[in-house]
Structure 1
Amino acid sequence: MALRLVQVNFKARDDSALGRFWAEALGWGVSSEGPGVTNVEPVGFAWPDPTAVCVDVVTVPDPETVKYRAHLDLATTSAAHQAELVARLLELGATPADVGQGDVPWTVLADPEGNVFCVLEPREIYRDTGPIATVVVNCTDPRAMARFWSEATDWTLHEVTDDHARLRSAEDVGPYLELLRTSGEETVWNRIHLDLRPYPGDDQAAEVARLRALGATDADVGQGDVPWVCLADPEGNEFCVLTPG
């Protein structure tokens, strides 16, 4: 049994507007599975496909009062591409963000609803990831988190140190999941969490029980009676286990 990281979920005041921003940012298309939900995925995408981790934008009535510790890093192929992408994102409604990064080669921006993300300088490791280089989760213990996430999913652990861990899909395609050690209180409010999906024919309840045995805990985010299950990883980062498919 295993789970796949299939999408990042953004909570938004306006799912349609934020969905359009991310579709333009990534060069992807938009669709909707129902009112208040905008799906952002590559044009012609055949769900699920490990070459991409999609974006799901969901309208919530009020701003969140919790801090999610996940954000996206976007890939670029050259210095010119990085500058061009940053300029285009600013035109689309992004704003510069200061998270105390200092003098770094990447650019930190916030989307129109204030979710922080980074436009990376060209890096060889991200040359084949697609527009999303990596999904970053901040944590205090990357080694422990790498153990959890590598057992929770079928993703392969490529690198782990005291400061950083990097995983990628079993097929070695698409973006990375990176666990980055941070110290001190978070100062950035993101409303992003991860969605995992069991393989067709697998049992959602069995997967949830397996995750609890690995150290996950139940999370109540006011979800009510829904077909997915909300959990938190060992450091309290919320994520959802969707129905198999």
Structure 2
Amino acid sequence: MTETTPPAAAPDCSFKDLCLDAVDSEVLASFWGRLLARTVQSTNDGGYAVLPAGPHGEHMWVDPVPEPRAVKTRVHLDLRLSAADPTPLLEAGARLVSEPAGDQHWWVLADPDGNLFCAMPPAPPEWGAPTVEVPTPFELVVDAVDAGAVAQWWAARTGGTAQTRDGAPYWWIQGATGFPFYAWVFNEVPETKTVKNRMHWDVELPDGVATPEALVDAGATVLRTPDDEIGWWVLADPEGNEFCVFLHPAAGA
């Protein structure tokens, strides 16, 4: 049996982009560009943008930071492969962490900065999933102590539908406004978040909304406000996951 929460009537924000911290932003951006067959551009501030594969995809911003990754990756991507063979990922510079075994039908790999990600074989034909020609992100996965609560929180903020199955240790969101992947998954883990996430997401406010007041009223915490260095807000959701909040582009028109 699947439990489902209804979508919010009016979302507080829409999903925008992904951001990834890196000790060497050029190396990491080049890796993800090769892996996903995407173009990489310098942002002229030490960072790089891995550009979307199409007009409606997400940017992956790779930003330099001095500190190396210290703990398990709490936010990661799942990729769909064109064939049941991770060799192209290894040739692009990924490191194999584990192979399919038992109920795990996917490979776990690490990028050059040690961030984990999963690679899935092609979906069975009966699923009706589109085939891919290159490794393609199809899920964003977030570890959470209370997966149901945080999934329902984000579903309400973005107008998506949160779902789970009886006994499953995870929830997923579909239909989140602006979300470029098949599903946003929140996976239950016992350990709480202790350090800044190496990967986070950006969101965008609706046209005409000038502050993230609705997000704060719903339980988000303000970590930083716009200042002389940044033009956006940095917030954390109820489990402490950092995310950046941008004005709608029309606000700057």
User: TM-score with structure 1 length normalisation?
Assistant: 0.79
Secondary structure in structure 2 of the residue aligned to 1:123 = coil
Q: Structure 1: how far apart are the matches of 2:115 and 2:69?
A: 12
Q: Match of 2:246?
A: 242
Q: Match of 1:88?
A: 88
Q: Match of 1:76?
A: 81
Deviation string, structure 1 residues 197-225 (Cα, Å, up to 9, x no partner): 224x33241xx2111111111236xx984
Q: How does 1:138-177 map to 2 (within 5 A)?
A: 138-154=143-159, 156-157=160-161, 159-161=163-165, 163-169=169-175, 174-175=180-181, 176-177=183-184
Q: Structure 2: how far apart are the matches of 1:129 and 1:217?
A: 40
Paired AA for residue 190 in structure 2:
S
Q: Structure 1: how far apart are the matches of 2:142 and 2:44?
A: 28
Selected match of 2:202 from 195, 202, 211: 195
Paired AA for residue 243 in structure 2:
F
Q: Match of 1:10?
A: 20
Unaligned stretches of 5+ in structure 1? none
Q: Match of 1:118?
A: 118
Asked if residue 63 in structure 1 is aligned to residue 68 in structure 2, the reply is yes
Paired AA for residue 167 in structure 1:
I
Contact 1:198–1:242 (8 Å) recurs in 2: yes
* Aligned positions, number: 229
Deviation string, structure 1 residues 72-96 (Cα, Å, up to 9, x no partner): 100124xxx130xx21221222112
Q: Match of 1:231?
A: 235
Q: Match of 2:7?
A: none
Alpha-carbon deviation of 1:142?
2.1
Shift of the 243–168 alpha-carbon distance from structure 1 to 2, 3 Å rule, reads: same
User: TM-score with structure 2 length normalisation?
Assistant: 0.77
Deviation string, structure 1 residues 144-165 (Cα, Å, up to 9, x no partner): 11221012213x2152346222
Q: Match of 2:223?
A: 219
Shift of the 171–241 alpha-carbon distance from structure 1 to 2, 3 Å rule, reads: closer
Secondary structure in structure 2 of the residue aligned to 1:160 = strand
Secondary structure in structure 1 of the residue aligned to 2:180 = coil
Q: Structure 2: how far apart are the matches of 1:187 and 1:232?
A: 13
Q: Match of 1:34?
A: 44
Alpha-carbon deviation of 1:173?
7.5
Q: Structure 1: how far apart are the matches of 2:194 and 2:101?
A: 15
Q: Structure 1: how far apart are the matches of 2:188 and 2:106?
A: 18
Asked if residue 109 in structure 1 is aligned to residue 109 in structure 2, the reply is yes
Paired AA for residue 163 in structure 1:
P
Alpha-carbon deviation of 1:190?
6.0
Q: Match of 1:180?
A: 187
Q: Tell me how large the CA RMSD over aligned residues is.
A: 3.3
Alpha-carbon deviation of 1:60?
1.5
